[in-house]
Structures are given as structure tokens and as C-alpha cells.
Amino acid sequence: MSAATEVKADPSVAAPASAGTELMTYREALRLAMRQEMERDPSVFVMGEEVGVFDGSYKVTAGLLDEFGPDRVRDTPISEEGFVGAGVGAAMLGERPIVEIMTLNFLLVAMDQVVNHAAKIGAMFGGEVRCPLVIRTPNGAGNQLTAQHSQSFDAWFAGTPGLKVVSPASPADAKGLLKAAIRDDDPVLVIENLPIYKEKGEVGVDAELTTPIGLAAVAREGSDLTLVSHGFATVRALKVAEQLAASHGVAVEVVDLRSLRPLDVETVAASVAKTSRALCVEEGWPTYGVTAELAARIQLACFDHLDAPVERLGMAEVPLPYAKELELAAMPTEDRLAAAVLRTLDLAR
């Protein structure tokens, strides 16, 4: 395949994994995706605070500066509105910038460029110009980062027509979805997560292997209840499902959304139609969050199948406090999630 045709390759079609798989961390999988796409397509470049000399504040871009040089791995001043917008402008000329935002919290200062510029270009200009921009950033809490640094605004971006939003939960999808995002001709926000970077998994290393945008995955099969989640919540969900299988003999099905916009309601509904119970969980605040949309969709799509109302779990609705005890109490930990599953199954004593 020539680079030219590869650039046009439809990202929603996963090529077969010819080159086999390797065990690697989520962080390494993201790096592999960037390296492969930068090798494949000269219009791909990385831009953000500390992505170069510092090797990335969470080391996702480590080594890329040495490999690709400062023009393609560009350190920026602390000017999120400026360099996110610069990514938009470069993308409008056909480049494929990957803008790293240190954490999702800092996207608030660049919100206008993402929501009122990048997302508007295709429709507002009558399809005359596109914006193939990728923004990568971790959400989530933990590690006592406190109120200003522990947030997940996933639903806000997923609620913005003109954007696409993905949130990989495994190293394989971290690589596959980031590659799909880079090849996509629209602005895509890739929501990562701080605690998830160190998670390990098998990753198909084939350079053409991507994860389709808009397709959820049944990450674990089960018949008693459907746990719907994305990102790090899926990691928790899978652990809890195993625990409860052992401790209570319940069979929990886990649907990993992978994409938030487009949202694969069909896979979610098919699972709930089978289990007739649903619990939706997210790392962020559930009220007006991702799980609100999930509950709204499920109750409509599965009205005749539900044995119980759709339940939700997320971060307690407070600005996350610093003290470890308070932070733990507020987060959707495995303990809280397990209790929520049992409660949704009416098994809680």
C-alpha cells in the first residue's frame, strides 16, 4: 500500500492482524500508534506542553522527539487556546495534528476552539473544508490531585455535534482507536485516563490494525446484568465482574462503549435485551453525565425488556477533595461498583 492510499484508508474497517500481538502498557500502545502513523504519513505531527524535551508529562510521547525531531514533536508554551486552535488551522490545510492536552481539566481554557471552532467547520462552511484534528488527553481522578485536576467532562464533548469522541479501555483499543482517530477526516477527541496508562494488555502490532470508531465491544459475556462503561470504568467493571462471579456466582456482562460519539446504542441495547438489567458507570459525575444519556437510551430501546430501572454510578458529586479518605469515598471504586451491581440485582443485604 502506498502512503497516499493508506492515508485514504477507511479507518472504520479493521485490517487483519498479520504481525501478531505483543504485551504492552496502554501508554506504550498509544506511543506505538503515534509512531506508526507518523512513519506512515508525513502530515501527522504531535504538539503540546512538554511532549518533547520532557518526554511528555505522563511519558506517553517519550522518545518521539529523538525519533522525529522538533518539527514533528513540538513543545508549546502554556497556551492551550492558542495551540489547540493552531491544530485546527493546520488541520484545515490538510495536516493531521495530534494535540496533547496534559489533562482534560486544561481543555477548559481551550473549550472555545474545540466546541465553537473545530466542531463547526464541516457544517458551517457547507462542507467546503474539513478539520482532521486529533486531541489526546487523560481524564479521571485518583492520586489526590484535588478539585481542579480530577475531572471528566466526557459528556460535554460527546454532546457536541461535529466532534467525534472515543475513550479506549484497553491497550489494544488505545492503539486501534488512536490510529483510527488520526486517519479520520473529522476532529476526534481521544479521552485517555491517568491510572489507566500503566494497564497492560496484548496489542496487535500490525500497522493497519485499527479499532472502528462508533463500535462498542462486549468485553465480557454474562446473562444477569449489563454493566455499561468506558475508559477506566471498564477496567474496574471487568475486575468487579470477575470478583462477583467468584463471590456471588453472578454473570455480569460488560459492554465497553469505546466511542461516546458516535454512541453504539445497538450493542448496549442488545445486551440489555438479553440481561434485562443495566448498571451504567463512569469515572466522572453521573448527573448530566455520560450515564444519563445511556439510561435515557436504554429505557427507550429496551422498555419492554427491563426488569428493573437502569441504575447509574459515578464520582460522588462534589469537587474532589484532597484527603485520601475523602477521595476514595467519592470515587467509583471497585467496592462501590460491586455493591452497586448487587443492589441492581436486588442481592444487596
Ligand X SMILES: Cc1ncc(C[n+]2csc(CCOP(=O)(O)OP(=O)(O)O)c2C)c(N)n1
Q: Tell me which residues are annotated as active site.
A: 80, 149
Query: Cα–Cα distance between 170 and 147 in angstroms, integer?
Result: 27
Instruction: Give least dist CB 110 to a copy of itself, A.
Output: 9
C-alpha distance from residue 78 to each of 47, 84, 100, 102, 327 (Å):
12, 11, 12, 10, 28
Instruction: Give the residue among 31, 297, 263, 257 at the shortest CA–CA distance from 164.
Output: 263
**126 vs 249 by CB, closer to other proteins:** 126
Tell me: does residue 116 bind other proteins (CB under 8 A). yes
Tell me: does residue 100 bind other proteins (CB under 8 A). no
Which residues on adjacent β-strands are paired with residue 23? 202
- Give the residue, chosen from 3, 19, 300, 347, that forms a contact with other proteins under the rule CB under 8 A: 300
Instruction: Give least dist CB 80 to ligand X, A.
Output: 6
Binding track over 66-95 against ligand X, x by CB under 6 A: ------------x-x---------------
Label residue 158 exposed, middle or buried (CB < 10 Å: 0-12, 13-18, 19+): buried
- The one segment of 102-110, 120-128, 154-162, 201-209 that binds ligand X by CB under 6 A: 102-110
Instruction: Give least dist CB 30 to ligand X, A.
Output: 19
Amino acid found at 342: L
- The one segment of 13-21, 169-177, 180-188, 284-292 that binds a copy of itself by CB under 8 A: 284-292
Helix ranges restricted to H, the chain: 3-8, 26-40, 64-68, 80-92, 111-113, 121-124, 154-158, 171-183, 232-248, 265-275, 290-301, 324-330, 334-344
**C-alpha atoms less than 13 angstroms from C-alpha of 214 in its C-beta half-sphere:** 7
**Is 297:278 a contact under the CB 8 Å cutoff?**
no
C-alpha cell at 104: 482534560
Amino acid found at 53: V
Footprint on residues 45-84 left by other proteins (CB under 8 A):
45, 49-50, 53-55, 57, 71, 75-79, 81-84
Footprint on residues 141-160 left by a copy of itself (CB under 8 A):
146-148, 151, 153, 155-156, 158-160
**145 vs 301 by CB, closer to ligand X:** 145
**153 vs 232 by CB, closer to a copy of itself:** 153
**160 vs 271 by CB, closer to a copy of itself:** 160
Binding track over 41-70 against ligand X, x by CB under 6 A: --------x---------------------
**Is 75:99 a contact under the CB 8 Å cutoff?**
no
Pick what 283 binds: a copy of itself, ligand X, other proteins, none; C-beta below 5 to 8 Å, kind-dependent.
none
Pick what 86 binds: a copy of itself, ligand X, other proteins, none; C-beta below 5 to 8 Å, kind-dependent.
other proteins
Instruction: Give the residue among 87, 150, 115, 120 at the shortest CA–CA distance from 317.
Output: 150
Query: Over the Cα atoms of the chain, what is R_g?
Result: 20
Instruction: Give the residue among 182, 167, 161 at the shortest CA–CA distance from 119.
Output: 161
Query: Cα–Cα distance between 326 and 25 in angstroms, integer?
Result: 29
Tell me: does residue 109 bind ligand X (CB under 6 A). yes
Tell me: does residue 215 bind ligand X (CB under 6 A). no
* Contact set with a copy of itself (CB under 8 A): 81, 105, 108-109, 111-112, 115-117, 119-120, 123-124, 146-148, 151, 153, 155-156, 158-162, 261, 263, 285, 287-293, 295-296, 299-300, 303, 306, 308-312, 317-319, 321
* Contact set with ligand X (CB under 6 A): 49, 78, 80, 102, 106, 109
